[in-house]
Amino acid sequence: MPAGPAVPLSWRCREDFIDYVEMTDDTSPAARAAATLPARPPLQAPLADDRTSALREKAAQTAALQLLDRERSLLQFNRRVLAQARRADVPLLERLRYVTIVSSNLDEFFEVRVADYIEAVRQPGSGITQADLAAVARAAHELIDEQYALFNHDVMPALEAEGIVVLNHAQRNAAQRAWVAKFFEEQVRPLLVPLSLDPSHPFPLVANKSLNFIARVGGRDAFGRQNQIAIVKVPRVLPRVIRLPAALTPGIQGFVLLTSVIRAHLGELFLGRTVESFSQFRVTRDSDLEVDEDDVTNLRQALRSGLTRRHFGQAIRLEVVSTCPDELTHFLLEQFGLPEVALYKVNGPVNLVRLNQLIDQAEAERLRFPPFEPRWPEGRLPPGHSIFATLRKRDVLLHHPFESFEPVVQFLREAVHDPDVLAIKQTIYRTGAQSVLMDLLIEAARRGKEVLAVVELKARFDEEANINWAERLEAVGAQVVYGIVGLKTHAKMLLVTRRETVVAAKGKRAAQTRLRRYAHLSTGNYNPRTARMYTDLGYLSADAGLTADVDAVFLQLASQTQAKAPRHLITAPFGLHNRMVKHLRQVAEAARAGKPARIVVKINALTDPGLMEALIDASVAGASIDLIVRGACMLPPGVPGRTENIRVRSVIGRFLEHTRVLYFRWGEGEDDEVLYLSSADWMSRNMFRRIELAWPVKDKLLRQRVIDEALVPYLHDKRDAWTLDSSGRYKRVAEQGASAQRALMQRLG
């Protein structure tokens, strides 16, 4: 795919940010919203779990401004992702990947968000009704129907035209059927155990998101009984996509799905009986780990026990194929205790996520994105030169994935192997089951360095990996803590303390030693794999004030003692929300006084009532506001008299936008603007129920670089950007023109 025209990346903030946007004329009436903006709430909210507080957000009532529904906003985000699968300028296999990404996102949507909705309906006074739940379900049904229609009628026929063909049983010739039969007999059948249901064989426990078959069989079993319903559980170890030998598929790349293999030979599992009807099915369950942290003595043990139960939580969604007979669907709904609205009949495999195996096996590089290799920033970090020596001269900004994540790995590797490094401290949120960074921390502990790891055990869907890393770190003598009870540690920090020799001044008798700290802060996770797919900013510094603040945060996380307010860092749940509201009010006051007033915020989600209220106030005052929000945004822009000075856009491209950048200007002086990088989105959970960081970029050159790379190109994107209107609908800006991500790949990669 060609790189496309580059976005100019040299505009100055004061010249370019003001009045840059082409306002949309799409101002359809505001849709009914399930939440409204509350009157000015207290800036500091009591701590609570995510689910309860989210419900309070939803239930807040006022006549000020109707907000957009968060769940439907999340579904709108997935519509934008699905739209990538329609684009002719996206390579075919990548279009299929976008289809699978939507399936993965929807799984989590049901496991978490819909599960919350169902729980809310049961709670008196939650403000959530069955009608709200039904509306979300309708929107989900529409999206899933569109997804399968696109999969069946656009993406798969286009792949077939390119010689990548998924053959069903009817399409397979005699030789192919013989090969599939042998594969079934040797590789599949030994792992399948059909279960005929009767009083001594009740309906089995079906794991979350597992593949299963239900069958209605005729005739009598080996004991002369007429038990008619049988369940076949398909083990996860079996491949879902199987490549046929090239000799059997001349001229094409032929594949078969595991579901097709089992379907063709299902009758062989019930010898002497007839399979009268059948369907594959899949159930999605509530996957929140419910652990009362105040009532457990060992959080790690409690979570490890809960991981097993997660696979068998409350059923939320039932998926069956569209040909599944009503008799079987009603039977399954009854077994899982689900209403009709929770049934999703799909025209294809019940788990499109597993089609990733087809993408990985297909031999067609031209149908994938062109290879992109992030660049080592040679001008700022000379190869072979000590990173510590560089940081003593200047701070370094890294822009992933356009620039390599390897400097972060090298920073830690240098610390591990440097005999003068005494201590290493790091937060661990999502590092993955395999991690060179965690291996380096283990090596540091083995070498006798003081290692402190703040491991977040409640990082959703990464709990098991984090528990395993915690145990491995403890086994080599590292000090492992799990953050603060009731709060998730979401901040991304790495701190190195080094003993250094200070050259003696003239007239002094001897050189002296002192301790110097070096820090890495990031908007994203310490995961080299996702750093190639997510956009994030990393910040390396030896600034004494900034690193002292980082050390104080680590001390507070480990000891839970009160600490002085940091001078450079801003932390949640203590002051981040207050500081953001303060800056929003400063901008509003400047606008009322006729001074330059500008806000540009790039985040992943905007749902916090207090921050939305302050944004509205700044808009009413006349400030110019641009919000680049990748996912859920509950604030409707363009409402006359309320948010008419607010513009909201979302950028969906090759990489997942993950960077959090916060810019405020409230005057003309150099001290009247500030730019922060942050680990936090503008959600109540991030502001009040997580350990988060934001830090100002004070170096003028680095600050301008953040503006030029992380804000300006996205405000001018004409290819991957969508704009939000006051009704909650998104409209693509254009399909041709400048692309922020492509420009950054061209400039930095």
How confident is the model over 81-107, as pLDDT tens digits? Answer: 999 999 999 999 999 999 999 999 999
Is the confidence at residue 20, as pLDDT, over 90? no
The pLDDT score that the predictor gives to residue 11 is: 33
Residues 471 and 615 in one domain: no
Is the confidence at residue 288, as pLDDT, over 80? no
Residues 556 and 617 in one domain: no
Asked if 721 and 733 count as a contact pair (C-beta separation under 8 A), the reply is yes
The pLDDT score that the predictor gives to residue 614 is: 97
Q: Is residue 450 part of a domain?
A: yes
Is the confidence at residue 654, as pLDDT, over 90? yes
To 5 degrees, how large is the angle CA 386–CA 390–CA 396?
Answer: 120
In 360-506, at which residue ranges do the beta strands (DSSP E only) sit? 396-400, 421-428, 450-455, 479-481, 488-489, 493-502
Is the confidence at residue 691, as pLDDT, over 70? yes
Is the confidence at residue 662, as pLDDT, over 90? yes
Q: Is residue 454 part of a domain?
A: yes
Return the sign of the alpha-carbon dihedral for residues 505, 508, 509, 514: negative
Residues 310 and 447 in one domain: no
The more confidently predicted of residues 483 and 602 is 602
In this prediction, residue 270 has a pLDDT band, given cuts at 50, 70 and 90, of: very high
Burial of 207-231, coded b for 16+ CB within 10 Å and e otherwise, reads bbbbbbbbbbbeeebeeeeeebbbb
Q: State the Cα–Cα distance between residues 113 and 303, nearest whole angstrom.
A: 21
In this prediction, residue 199 has a pLDDT band, given cuts at 50, 70 and 90, of: low
Catalytic annotation, pick one of 265, 399, 400, 490: 490
Copy the structure tokens of residue 551: 């050390």
Q: State the Cα–Cα distance between residues 374 and 528, nearest whole angstrom.
A: 12
Residues 176 and 294 in one domain: yes
- Mean predicted confidence (pLDDT) in 498-504: 84
The pLDDT score that the predictor gives to residue 749 is: 78
Residues 558 and 576 in one domain: no
Q: Among 316, 338, 367, which residue terminates a domain?
A: 367
Burial of 52 (0-12, 13-18, 19+ CB in 10 A): middle
Q: In residues, how long is the chain? A: 749
Q: Is residue 93 part of a domain?
A: no
In this prediction, residue 224 has a pLDDT band, given cuts at 50, 70 and 90, of: low
The pLDDT score that the predictor gives to residue 565 is: 83
> Residue 381: CB partners within 8 Å, gap ≥ 6?
387, 390, 396, 407
Q: What CATH number is associated with residue 207?
A: 3.30.1840.10
In this prediction, residue 64 has a pLDDT band, given cuts at 50, 70 and 90, of: low
The pLDDT score that the predictor gives to residue 238 is: 96
The pLDDT score that the predictor gives to residue 195 is: 92
- Mean predicted confidence (pLDDT) in 536-548: 97
The pLDDT score that the predictor gives to residue 505 is: 63
How confident is the model over 300-329, as pLDDT tens digits? Answer: 565 555 555 656 788 999 999 999 999 999
Q: Is residue 56 part of a domain?
A: no
Q: Is residue 341 part of a domain?
A: yes
Residues 425 and 309 in one domain: no
How confident is the model over 580-597, as pLDDT tens digits? Answer: 999 999 999 999 999 999
The pLDDT score that the predictor gives to residue 476 is: 93
Mean pLDDT of the chain: 87
Domain that includes residue 425, residue range: 387-567
DSSP letter (8 states) at residue 610 = H
Continuous H helices in 162-238:
174-183
The more confidently predicted of residues 204 and 198 is 204
First to last CA, the chain: 15
Residues 444 and 517 in one domain: yes
Answer yes or no: 169 catalytic: no
Q: For residue 567, how far is the Cα from the chain centroid?
A: 31
Residues 355 and 433 in one domain: no
Q: What is the 3-state secondary structure (H, E, C) of 641-704?
A: CCCCCEEEEEECCCCEECCCEEEEECCCCHHHEEEEEECCCECHHHHHCEEEEEEECCCHHHHH
Long-range CB pairs of 592-596, under 8 A, 24+ apart, other chains included: 592/621, 592/622, 595/666, 595/667, 595/668, 595/672, 596/14, 596/18, 596/665, 596/666, 596/667, 596/668, 596/672
DSSP letter (8 states) at residue 539 = E
The pLDDT score that the predictor gives to residue 434 is: 83
Residues 508 and 467 in one domain: yes
Continuous H helices in 201-298:
258-264
Q: Is residue 328 part of a domain?
A: yes
> Between β-strands 534-541 and 570-572, what pairing exists: parallel, antiparallel or unpaired?
unpaired
Q: How many CB atoms lie within 10 A of CB 200?
A: 5
Is the confidence at residue 645, as pLDDT, over 50? yes
Residues 730 and 662 in one domain: yes
Copy the structure tokens of residue 190: 């030994």
Is the confidence at residue 42, as pLDDT, over 50? no
Is the confidence at residue 12, as pLDDT, over 80? no
Q: State the Cα–Cα distance between residues 19 and 598, nearest whole angstrom.
A: 10
DSSP-derived 3-state class of residue 223: coil
Q: State the Cα–Cα distance between residues 38 and 706, nearest whole angstrom.
A: 33
Q: Is residue 256 part of a domain?
A: yes
The pLDDT score that the predictor gives to residue 464 is: 74
The more confidently predicted of residues 610 and 469 is 610
Q: Which residue bears the tokens 């100002």?
A: 696
Could you give the percent of the chain with pLDDT greater than 70? 86
The pLDDT score that the predictor gives to residue 295 is: 46
In 553-623, at which residue ranges do the beta strands (DSSP E only) sit? 570-572, 598-603
Is the confidence at residue 647, as pLDDT, over 90? yes
The pLDDT score that the predictor gives to residue 488 is: 87
The pLDDT score that the predictor gives to residue 248 is: 97
- Mean predicted confidence (pLDDT) in 386-395: 96
Residues 445 and 498 in one domain: yes
Is the confidence at residue 389, as pLDDT, over 50? yes
Q: Among 508, 538, 567, which residue terminates a domain?
A: 567
- Mean predicted confidence (pLDDT) in 451-467: 76
In this prediction, residue 456 has a pLDDT band, given cuts at 50, 70 and 90, of: confident
The pLDDT score that the predictor gives to residue 46 is: 29
Q: Among 567, 601, 618, which residue terminates a domain?
A: 567
Q: State the Cα–Cα distance between residues 722 and 375, nearest whole angstrom.
A: 29
In this prediction, residue 113 has a pLDDT band, given cuts at 50, 70 and 90, of: confident
5 backbone dihedrals φ, ψ, rounded to 5°: -65, 140
Q: What CATH number is associated with residue 399?
A: 3.30.870.10
Q: Is residue 283 part of a domain?
A: yes
Please list the helix, strand and coil fractions of the chain in percent, rounded to the nearest 5, in that order.
40, 20, 40
Q: State the Cα–Cα distance between residues 340 and 326, nearest whole angstrom.
A: 11
In this prediction, residue 401 has a pLDDT band, given cuts at 50, 70 and 90, of: very high
Residues 296 and 440 in one domain: no
Copy the structure tokens of residue 225: 């009984």
- Number of domains the chain contains: 3
The pLDDT score that the predictor gives to residue 13 is: 36
